[in-house]
Amino acid sequence: MIPEFLWVSYELNLSYNSLEGPIPEHLSYKFSSGSFWGNKYLCGNLPDFSPCPSTPINKLKIVEIILPVLSFLAFLALGVLLFLRSRAKDNIPEPNVKKNGDIFSILNFDGRIAFEDIIKATKTLTSDTVLGLVVMAVFIEHNYQVERLLP
């Protein structure tokens, strides 16, 4: 490579020195191509020299730019996806679960209703209501036994 400070010289002969790379613009205008003969790896704007190839794109620079951008976009997409998913979970209505269930389910007790629920459900019952429920329970039990006996 030819150093930049040589622009102050009035005469220059760098022939046959095994130099390589581009000839600086200010030297190619000031000196003839004879000053650089014999350096087959030099390139530039002088006659008898091939033009310098355009600077290759540095793949490392591309990776340094694209990789962070793609990473950011991936994290952004993941964040949006998680946000939308959490909003969808918030919009799901919770099922209405009755603590005591249907009051008439006590008559068909199958073990699912807790003892405390039965006590809470029967606190407001009067003696007349309890007597009516007992009669109804006896009637239902009697019908159940009759249905079992019939073919």
Mean pLDDT (whole number) for 119-138: 72
- Reported as a single tens digit per residue, the pLDDT across 14-38 is 888 888 888 888 777 777 888 888 8
Rounded CA separation 139/151 (Å): 20
Q: Report the percent of the chain where pLDDT is more than 70.
A: 61
Candidate from 67-81, 92-106, 111-125, 134-148 with smallest mean pLDDT: 92-106
3-state secondary structure at position 150:
coil
Predicted pLDDT at 101: 52
Rounded CA separation 72/92 (Å): 31
Q: What is the pLDDT confidence band of residue 102, given thresholds at 50, 70 and 90?
A: low
Rounded CA separation 82/88 (Å): 10
Q: Report the percent of the chain where pLDDT is more than 90.
A: 10
Degrees to nearest 5, angle at CA 39 with 35 and 43: 85
Q: What is the mean pLDDT of the chain?
A: 75
3-state secondary structure at position 103:
helix
For residue 78, give the H/E element and its range.
helix 59-90
Query: What is the residue type of 59?
Result: K
Rounded CA separation 120/111 (Å): 16
Rounded CA separation 102/110 (Å): 13
Max mean pLDDT range (5-9, 21-25, 143-147): 21-25
Cα 17 from chain centre: 58
